[in-house]
């Protein structure tokens, strides 16, 4: 996305005196000229000045408009001449309720006659309390400077209240906050005010191990010439890239990758897989292609033998003679892809969480070589949830605990012993969860939305003084507020129209985070 100066600071002459009337300087200048006149002329000029200038009382009463702000605009994009300019020295903001294309009445932010934007997380609003300033995106990148701490704090409170009402459709009161988040999660309403002590371990880790994956991503993108659908890094010899043409196998080296010359090309008309899952000591890969017409669900899987580069068979999802679809698949545990005898994996659909088995009900491997039709995966265990769960993505820990992200923004933690009832359910923060990941030890969860990442610490101390994670016990009111990680408004705008985050991940077993976005 390039670099640009003045991303965090307004590099312009900026002082509180800028809010005063410009006429005052003219008044002082005119008054100084009268010292060289006769007394009579001075009296006459003073009388004339009374007609031209307001009295001190009237001037001070109108010195600032209501909700006064200074408005800045960033210009120049990523060019060397990029900078902030003063767009309006004396203007005001307002939050107004109006209709839009999708809703009857929602809150909008207006700033003078230059800015009108629906209040939402898509504005990417970022606060700078020490500067009494906020930046946001609204057909450009804007900044507001406030004349006092009180006006700054009032704006922030009004903005957050409007976001709450636009998202949940009810007024932002303490009672309604408890209704939406629950008493245990009331601290999540303002995650930026969280105690930093819980995050010390998260940010103390050395980020250098993530360098290898970042470099690999760049090499994959260059090799694919764009169009990367999914990237699967193996823990052993190989890594894999899926693009519009097929699956490409690469040899892992300490300082990069090298093509093995193995590739599986997709037949004409077949949908490009959007999910690749390594199995059986990374010698096999399950490829899931979405249905057509833009639907993310899939009714079948293709099993790829990596050693031969051939599709071994096509599997169908089914239960009790009824064909099913899946939205996502993942390994039983974070390390089970290394098991050479692995025959099971997990599946997720809008309202289903289950385990699939490639063996038949008697535990014998199905004879796929002589099967006249696609073999059907066996529903080993799972649960059908009520309509409206709207699951989107999931991931597993090293011991098989499961984290699930939903369309309503909720993140649920299931223990390794039950898929029916979540041990902990974190409330949504305004935006749908499109992807989730969890560390091997289950201590950290990372959720991805279109506009930000939400980082959650699952550790808590129970009533007996034992340290646990939210996968193994109910956290109650001992839940630390999350951290929201997002682009600056300027970076978000410069990323272009399609600037959504795709997925955030931890490295295989450590706390180091990386993100594939934009």
Query: Burial letters for 235-244: b for 16+ Cβ neighbours within 10 Å, e otherwise?
Result: beebbbbbbe
Maximum mean pLDDT: which of 54-63, 187-196, 387-396 = 387-396
**pLDDT at site 218:** 56
**Which residues, in sequence order, are bridge partners of residue 483?**
455
**Helix, strand, or coil here: 219?**
helix
Spacing of C-alpha 359 from chain mean position: 38
pLDDT digits (tens, 9 = 90+) for 115-173: 999 999 889 899 999 999 999 999 999 999 999 999 999 999 999 999 999 988 899 99
Average pLDDT for the chain:
77
Query: 256 falls in which pLDDT band (50, 70, 90)?
Result: low
Maximum mean pLDDT: which of 3-7, 86-90, 181-185 = 86-90
Domain 68-172 has CATH 2.30.29.30: yes
The residue ranking higher by pLDDT, 35 or 499, is 499
Are 431 and 449 spatial neighbours (Cβ–Cβ below 8 Å)?
Answer: yes
Distance CA(482)–CA(480), nearest Å, equals 6
Distance CA(393)–CA(234), nearest Å, equals 20
**pLDDT at site 200:** 59
Is the pLDDT assigned to residue 26 strictly greater than 50?
Answer: no
Query: 229 falls in which pLDDT band (50, 70, 90)?
Result: low
68-172 and 196-202+224-363+371-516 in the same fold: no
DSSP notation for 6-66: -SSS--S---GGGGS-THHHHHHHHHHHGGGS-HHHHHHHHHHHHHHS--HHHHHHTSS-T
Query: 44 falls in which pLDDT band (50, 70, 90)?
Result: low
How big is the chain by its Cα radius of gyration, in Å?
A: 29
Is the pLDDT assigned to residue 442 strictly greater than 80?
Answer: yes
Distance CA(229)–CA(221), nearest Å, equals 10
Spacing of C-alpha 316 from chain mean position: 33
**pLDDT at site 40:** 58
Structure tokens at 445: 């969860």
Q: Domain spans of the chain?
A: 68-172, 196-202+224-363+371-516
Domain 196-202+224-363+371-516 has CATH 2.130.10.10: yes
Residues near 257 by beta carbon (within 8 Å), at least 6 away in sequence: 216, 219, 220, 223, 239, 250, 251
Please, what is the end-to-end C-alpha distance for the chain in angstroms? 9
Minimum mean pLDDT range among 35-39, 313-317, 338-342, 449-453: 35-39
Are 143 and 133 spatial neighbours (Cβ–Cβ below 8 Å)?
Answer: yes
Distance CA(85)–CA(80), nearest Å, equals 15
pLDDT digits (tens, 9 = 90+) for 79-104: 888 899 999 999 999 999 987 666 67
Are 332 and 346 spatial neighbours (Cβ–Cβ below 8 Å)?
Answer: yes
Spacing of C-alpha 516 from chain mean position: 11
Q: Which of 452, 437, 415 is CA-nearest to residue 505?
A: 437
Maximum mean pLDDT: which of 2-6, 129-133, 194-198, 307-311 = 129-133
The residue ranking higher by pLDDT, 358 or 29, is 358
**pLDDT at site 66:** 77
CB atoms within 10 A of CB 359: 14
Minimum mean pLDDT range among 80-94, 212-226, 386-400: 212-226
């Amino acid at each position: 996305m390039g670099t640009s100066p003045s991303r965090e600071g307004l590099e312009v002459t900026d002082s509180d005196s800028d809010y005063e009337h410009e006429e005052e300087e003219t008044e002082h200048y005119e008054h100084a000229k009268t010292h060289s006149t006769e007394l009579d002329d001075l009296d006459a000029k003073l009388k004339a000045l009374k007609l031209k200038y307001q009295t001190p009382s009237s001037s001070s009463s109108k010195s600032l408009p209501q909700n006064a702000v200074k408005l800045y605009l960033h210009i120049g994009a990523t060019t060397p001449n990029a900078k902030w300019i003063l767009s309006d020295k004396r203007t005001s903001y307002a939050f107004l309720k109006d209709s839009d294309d999708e809703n009857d009445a929602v809150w909008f932010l207006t700033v003078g006659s230059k800015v009108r934007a629906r209040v939402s997380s898509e504005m990417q609003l970022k606060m700078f309390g020490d500067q009494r300033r906020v930046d946001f995106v609204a057909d450009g990148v804007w900044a507001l400077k406030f004349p006092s701490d009180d006006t700054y704090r009032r704006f922030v409170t009004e903005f957050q209240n409007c976001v709450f009402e636009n998202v949940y459709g009810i007024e932002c009161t303490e009672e309604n906050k408890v209704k939406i988040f629950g008493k245990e999660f009331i601290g999540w309403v303002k995650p930026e005010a969280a105690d930093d002590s819980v995050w010390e371990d998260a940010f103390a880790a050395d980020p250098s191990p993530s360098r290898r994956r970042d470099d690999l991503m760049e090499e994959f993108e260059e090799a694919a010439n764009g169009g990367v659908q999914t990237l699967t890094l193996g823990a052993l010899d190989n890594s894999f890239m899926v693009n519009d043409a097929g699956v490409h196998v690469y040899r892992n080296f300490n300082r990069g990758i090298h093509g093995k010359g193995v590739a599986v090309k997709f037949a004409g008309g077949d949908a490009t897989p959007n999910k690749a899952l390594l199995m059986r000591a990374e010698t096999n890969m399950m490829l899931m292609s979405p249905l057509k017409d833009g639907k993310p669900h899939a009714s079948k899987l293709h099993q790829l033998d990596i050693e031969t580069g051939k599709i071994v068979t096509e599997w169908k999802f089914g239960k009790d003679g009824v064909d099913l679809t899946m939205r996502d698949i993942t390994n039983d545990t974070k390390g089970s892809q290394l098991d050479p005898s692995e025959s099971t994996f997990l599946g997720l659909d809008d309202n289903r969480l289950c385990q699939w088995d490639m063996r038949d009900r008697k535990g014998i491997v199905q004879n796929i070589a002589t099967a006249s039709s696609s073999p059907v995966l066996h529903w080993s265990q799972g649960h059908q949830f009520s309509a409206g769960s709207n699951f989107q993505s999931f991931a597993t820990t090293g011991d098989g605990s499961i984290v699930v992200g939903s369309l309503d923004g909720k993140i649920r933690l299931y223990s390794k012993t039950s898929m029916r009832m979540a041990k902990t359910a974190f409330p949504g923060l305004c935006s749908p969860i499109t992807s989730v990941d969890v560390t091997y030890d289950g201590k950290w969860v990372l959720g991805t939305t279109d506009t930000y990442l939400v980082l959650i610490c699952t550790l808590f101390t129970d009533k007996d003084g034992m340290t646990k994670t939210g996968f193994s016990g109910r956290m109650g009111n001992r839940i630390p507020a999350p951290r929201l990680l997002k682009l600056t408004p300027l970076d978000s705008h410069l990323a272009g129209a399609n600037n959504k985050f795709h997925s955030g991940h931890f490295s295989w077993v450590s706390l180091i985070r990386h993100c594939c976005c934009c």
